[in-house]
Amino acid sequence: MSKSPFYSIITGTGRYIPSQIVKNEAFLKNEFYNASGQRIEKSNDNIISKFQQITDIKERRYVDDELVTSDIGYFAAEAALASAQADKEKLDYIIVAHNFGDVLKSNKKTDIVPSLAARIKHRLGIHNPYTVAYDLPFGCPGWLQGLIQADYYIKAGDAKNILVIGAEVLSRISDPHDIDSMIYSDGAGAVLVEAVESEYPVGILAHKTRSDTLNHAHLLRMDVSYNPEYKDDTLFLKMDGRKLYEYALTTVPQLVSDCLDKAEVSIADIKKVLIHQANAKMDEAILSRLFKLLEVAEIPENLMPMTISTLGNNSVATVPVLIDMLLKGEFENHHIHQGEHLVFASVGAGMNVNAMVYKLP
């Protein structure tokens, strides 16, 4: 008798949400400039009010001064291993998604040597030299791409236990003179993925990824401050918000639709959509366009749990934080059960887009 195939199952989750709450009012004293280096004449009250109306962000979280990205990635990893009651020495891979490395409060330069994965493995105290630790810089979709890579390893029979971490400290690479700085926040999330034999499909059912670099590579990029009088040439994260919005609405719904087809799962069977969150209005528009594309008239209530209003955009941490909260029953109006299907989706720098269909074991 032939063996049943291996499937990739999430058996543990964890997160780290910084304790420092930064409300929109904290930006009232900022001097905002546009991309041309001109001071924006509107009052900050007006700017912040419009910003909140569009993004739904009321507050975000920043790490304490002494912490860096690998620290909070380690905290999330510890929580995920503890929740699975897993033996860390049996990990085959540790994949850490991030984009800026460890950036000190006092020195805003990327530090990625050794890799953040190596730092986290070291801090976890893992002796096993065959626990392979590496980083994955893939924009905001990085954590989900790490999960996709984990599935490939498991399906190939190369691994049985993989820790996938997403961690970012965006507060240190955001230009205080750029309105977009109010979007960014800090955080980390992690999952343990295990190989499980099953006679029927379960866990990760299908995934799709695309990279549009020819015309969209620089919609998110690094550049100097919008303030021409800024003290030095520090590089900050910059984005072309309008074009990014249009790109996301064009690509994400289609990729999710293609992923559903690949998994042979109907949108009617999807219990929750876990999407990377940078802009509430954009995510709502993506969901609406997906249902229109699939010719489904009505979007079910409570389909898309959201954290953006209080956590902001913490990049690669968004989706793993969502799944951690959802599996632990920490959303008031969102509950999931065995056998139900979820969709994961993310879009970000590259430009990269990915999606995944997951069946709860």
Which DSSP string corresponds to 27-54?
GTT---B-TTSPBP-S-HHHHHHHHHHH
The fold of the 6-197 domain, in CATH, is Peroxisomal Thiolase; Chain A, domain 1 (3.40.47)
The pLDDT score that the predictor gives to residue 86 is 96
pLDDT at position 3 is 52
| DSSP run (H or E) holding 286 | helix 280-293
Kindly state which CATH superfamily the domain 203-359 is placed in: Thiolase/Chalcone synthase (3.40.47.10)
Q: Closest by alpha carbon to 195, among 2, 10, 3?
A: 10
Q: How far apart are CA 312 and CA 341, in angstroms?
A: 26
Q: Given this model, what pLDDT does residue 2 score?
A: 42
Residues 16 and 72: their CA atoms lie apart, in Å, by 6
pLDDT of residue 4: 55
Tracing tokens 């229109």 back to the chain, one arrives at 292
Q: State the pLDDT at residue 332.
A: 87
Note the pLDDT of residue 91. 98
Evaluate if pTM is beyond 0.85. yes
pLDDT string in tens for the chain (361-residue length): 345 589 999 999 999 999 999 999 999 999 999 999 999 999 999 999 999 999 999 999 999 999 999 999 999 999 999 999 999 999 999 999 999 999 999 898 999 999 999 999 999 999 999 999 999 999 999 999 999 999 999 999 999 999 999 999 999 999 999 999 999 999 999 999 999 999 899 999 999 999 999 999 999 999 999 999 999 999 999 999 899 999 999 999 999 999 999 999 999 999 999 999 988 999 999 999 999 999 998 999 999 999 999 999 999 999 999 999 999 999 988 999 999 999 999 999 999 999 999 999 9
Measuring CA to CA, how many Å separate 208 from each of 147, 256, 275, 325?
12, 8, 14, 24
List where CATH 3.40.47.10 sits in the chain: 6-197, 203-359
User: Quick one: tokens of 31?
Assistant: 């001097």
pLDDT at 278: 87
